[in-house]
Amino acid sequence: MTTARSVRDEVQNVLDYLQQAELALYCNPVFMDEVRVSWHSLNPGADFLITRELGTVEQYYHWLANGTFSAILFDASILQISYGVNSGKIVSHRLAYIPCPFNVDDSLLREGESVTDVVNLYDNIADVRLKSPIRFDFDLAAAEPRHPASHLTINSSDCRIACVAPIHVQRFVDFIFRHFYPIYWEAHISFFGPAAWRHAGEKVISDEDMKAVYLMWDVNATASGRIWVP
């Protein structure tokens, strides 16, 4: 049976590892109530979204200034991790990776300079990176045509690529580091490797969504008898 506390412990374990391994500069405390696991914002009263556009510099600054994140990675990119839990199951999640919109000098970040101060050094168009945020959303109750229960959004809010199931937090960070930080992924394979058999729920993809391109993984895989080979 899945509880908010069990999900909270999984999220905390992932964030603790990222910070201890210096893959994250800072992690917010994990928030938990009976039905939700998220992050403690620095400014809980601030609006979450200031625009419906995906990947704007203004939205990144807004989230950074208000502490609306689970972790800031070593390059000033942001992770947002939030789960909804009800009746012993994960019923929703928002798992987002927001790349820092600038090519920052991460040595300044590692030396302890404020992330906001470092990011504010970059206002030249030549410093801007055209990288899209990536978000894995899950909400079974909101599923409808062209809006799969579990999906990946990238580049546009209208882009919803169906996923076979909800995503475990460790599988999410494995996906991010495997595809965007492969050197660090390989260096920490003992942590990322077990994500291959970490699950957050059963198959939810519809037959209709399986007619198009979608993301698939083995939702029944277990660690029993398996050897991880990077």
Domain boundaries, the chain: 4-211
What local confidence, expressed as pLDDT, does residue 229 receive?
39
Give the pLDDT of residue 227: 40
Buried b (16+ CB within 10 A) or exposed e, 5-41: eebbebbbebbebbeeeebbbebbebbbeeebbbbeb
| Predicted pLDDT at 126 | 65
Task: Give me the pLDDT at residue 199, please.
Answer: 93
pLDDT at 46: 84
pLDDT at residue 228, as a whole number: 41
pLDDT at 114: 84
- In the chain (230 residues long), the average pLDDT of successive 10-residue segments reads 94 98 96 95 84 84 94 96 95 96 84 83 74 94 90 92 96 97 97 93 94 92 54
Taking the C-alpha atoms of residue 45 and residue 220, their distance in angstroms, rounded to an integer, is 41
Q: Nearest Cα to 35, choosing from 90, 74, 80?
A: 90
> What was the pLDDT predicted at 175?
97
pLDDT at position 125: 66
